[in-house]
RNA sequence: GGAGAAUUGGCAGAGUGGUCGAAUGCGGCAGUCUUGAAAACUGUUGAGGGUCACACCUCCGGGGGUUCGAAUCCCUCAUUCUCCGCCA
């Protein structure tokens, strides 16, 4: 959520930013917001004056009662009736206006960074880096879902029976490989200074609002209506919410957290051939990194996170590329995002395995995550997060890229974690 | 799941209807003293809105109510603790 004061003072910048996201009604949206804010403040001022008057009268009444001047007190009491009426009306107006403003603020996405390329969708993303050799597969190489079946390491049908589509069962070496990847990622992250946390997999409404999943994207989350809790779509939600309503000291920066969690996504409306196998699931594992930074350091931190993810993909010896997302493809809360895509050779396509973003103070504003700056004033912090990494697609790429006629050769760094070097 | 108690500023803890945004202690910050530090002393020290700055307004777990007036009374929800039940 953008700060109202920021919108008020940077109207043109905000409109331009929203237009970069191809919002057709940017001007209207911003103008409405500024108008609502003005109205809200006008009503607030009016209400404050009435309340001040009413507070003063109440104090006087108290004094009169104390000094035994009942009659005078009763007279004053009558005067308060009218003020009460007024304040009630004004409070209602204020509430309505505040709600109207809040709703507008909720639907305004973050302003893209200057270097975000223009564009409508994924075709307009900018490839900023590419590395790794695409392996030449042997005759009869298979896509990962066939390999999963061949070696009996992932059972999609069994998942269908137990739960439904998109909930695979990992078996034997498949399960072990998955666990190895999780441990490997966590170890890499902690070695880089990220503090490991284990967090709840269900979150309340306030948490969902603070990180921006609610109120508008609730259809993407599984919801337990009985307790009004949501299954997390990413560890970003519980981990970032550690810092909700927190005021940090400046010397606490940088804050670096990592967490492994399963992620649950309804993925409503995305079915078809491209979601086959592990490409898109309702439940998947992910290791996440989250940072809270001083505003002046957040882009440096973003680069650091990207370098870190790069390091992992290099060690796995996977062919990958890094994209800078264009305005049209940028997530609601992000100012700048780098997507990491791993090449899945047997499918001949790129798979997104990580997304690293700087949210600047957009999330912090909803979180009320602040720090005391050098002037002793409260200022919003910057939040960032990234995947390091999303498991299923790494697994998919690994199975496909590392397949040989003898079996699937486990990348060297993973062997100590797996306890085997080939799946056959 | 049942019964009872509690929830106050960074922490501890007073405050049961009127001048309480809230005593006191600790902690933090600044100053005096000191070569420096400690101790002692003095001052200061919550958040948000609003204003050029003041004034002023809101917030004592969340929400609602009673009252001219609520941290204080009532309702409700959440959380914590104790006892009982159940349980990995």
Domain coordinates of chain A in residue numbers? 4-107, 122-423
In the prediction, which pLDDT does A403 show?
94
Residue A154 has pLDDT above 90, yes or no: yes
How many residues can be counted in chain A? 424
**CA A256, C1' B46: Å apart?**
27
Interface confidence (ipTM) of the complex:
0.84
Strand partners, A403: A408
The owner of tokens 């993909």 is: A313
- The pLDDT tens digits of the residues spanning A158-216 come to 999 999 989 999 999 999 999 999 999 999 999 999 999 999 999 998 899 999 888 87
Q: What is the DSSP string of A160-178?
A: HHHT-TT--EE-HHHHHHH
Q: Measured between alpha carbons, how far is A198 from A399 in angstroms, rounded to an integer? A: 28
Does A345 carry a binding-site annotation?
A: no
Distance A97 CA to B64 C1' (A): 20
Peptide bond just before A215 cis, omega within 30 deg: yes
Rounded distance, CA A107 to CA A127, Å? 29
CB proximity A51–strand B (7 Å threshold): yes
The mean predicted confidence, pLDDT, of chain A is 91
Residue A54 predicted with pLDDT over 70: yes
Residue range A58-107, pLDDT digits in tens: 888 888 887 777 788 888 888 888 888 888 888 888 888 888 898 899 89
Residues 6 or more apart from A421 whose CB is under 8 A from it? A409, A410, A415
Other C-beta atoms lying within 10 Å of the C-beta of residue A73: 17
Fold adopted by A4-107: Helix Hairpins (1.10.287)
**A288 marked among binding-site residues:** yes
Q: Which CATH superfamily is domain A122-423 in?
A: Bira Bifunctional Protein; Domain 2 (3.30.930.10)
**What's residue A270's pLDDT?**
63
**Bases on strand B under 7 Å from any protein CB:** 18-19, 47-51, 55-58, 68-69
pLDDT higher than 80, residue A140: yes
Hey, do A4-107 and A122-423 end up sharing a CATH topology, with the first three levels equal? no
For residue A136, what is the DSSP state?
Answer: P
Helices (H), A286-406: 298-316, 362-367, 391-401
Q: What whole-number distance in Å separates Cα of residue A126 and Cα of residue A182?
A: 29
Pairing of the two strands A223-224 and A336-344: unpaired
State whether the Cα torsion A201-A220-A246-A228 is positive or negative: negative
Structure tokens at A249: 């000291």
Indicate the pLDDT class of residue A335, thresholds 50, 70 and 90.
very high
Task: Convert the pLDDT of each residue in A245-302 to its tens digit.
Answer: 888 888 888 999 999 999 999 887 666 656 788 899 999 999 999 999 999 999 999 9
Q: How far is the CA of A186 from the C1' of B29 (A)?
A: 40
Instruction: Report if CB A65 to strand B is under 7 Å.
Output: yes
């Amino acid at each position: 959520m953008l700060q109202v004061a920021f919108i008020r003072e940077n109207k043109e910048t905000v409109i331009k930013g929203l237009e970069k996201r191809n919002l057709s009604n940017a001007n209207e949206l911003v103008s409405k917001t500024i108008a609502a804010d003005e109205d809200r403040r006008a009503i607030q001022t009016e209400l404050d004056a009435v309340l001040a008057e009413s507070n003063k009268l109440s104090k006087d009444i108290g004094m009169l009662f104390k000094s035994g001047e009942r009659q005078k007190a009763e007279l004053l009491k009558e005067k308060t009736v009218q003020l009460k009426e007024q304040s009630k009306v004004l409070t209602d107006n204020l509430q309505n206006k505040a709600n109207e403003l809040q709703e507008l603020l909720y639907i305004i996405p973050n302003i893209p960074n200057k270097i975000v390329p223009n564009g409508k969708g994924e075709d307009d993303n900018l490839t900023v880096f590419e590395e790794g050799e695409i392996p030449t597969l042997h005759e009869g190489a298979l896509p990962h879902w066939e390999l999963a079946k061949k070696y009996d390491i992932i059972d999609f049908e069994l998942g269908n029976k137990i739960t439904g589509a998109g909930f695979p069962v990992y078996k034997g070496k498949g399960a072990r490989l998955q666990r190895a990847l999780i441990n490997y990622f966590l170890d890499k992250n902690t070695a880089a200074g990220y503090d490991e946390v284990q967090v709840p997999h269900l979150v309340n409404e306030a948490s969902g609002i603070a990180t921006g999943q609610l109120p508008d994207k609730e259809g993407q989350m599984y919801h337990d209506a009985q307790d009004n809790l949501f299954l997390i779509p990413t560890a970003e939600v519980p981990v970032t919410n550690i810092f909700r309503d927190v005021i940090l000291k400046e010397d606490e920066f940088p804050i670096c957290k990592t967490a492994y969690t399963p992620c649950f996504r309804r993925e409503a409306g995305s079915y078809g051939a491209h979601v086959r196998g592990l490409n898109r699931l309702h439940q998947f594992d992910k290791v996440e990194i989250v940072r809270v930074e001083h505003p002046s350091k957040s882009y440096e931190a973003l680069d650091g996170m990207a370098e870190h993810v790069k390091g992992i993909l290099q060690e796995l010896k996977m062919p990958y590329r890094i994209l800078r997302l264009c305005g049209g493809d940028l997530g609601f809360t992000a100012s700048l995002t780098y997507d990491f895509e791993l090449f899945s050779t047997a499918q001949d396509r790129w798979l997104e395995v990580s997304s690293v973003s700087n949210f600047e103070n957009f999330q912090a504003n909803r979180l009320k995550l602040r720090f005391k700056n050098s002037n002793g004033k409260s200022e919003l912090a910057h939040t960032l997060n990234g995947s390091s990494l999303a498991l299923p697609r790494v697994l998919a790429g690994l199975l496909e890229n590392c397949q040989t006629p003898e079996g699937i050769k486990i990348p060297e760094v993973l062997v100590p974690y797996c306890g085997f070097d080939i799946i056959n």
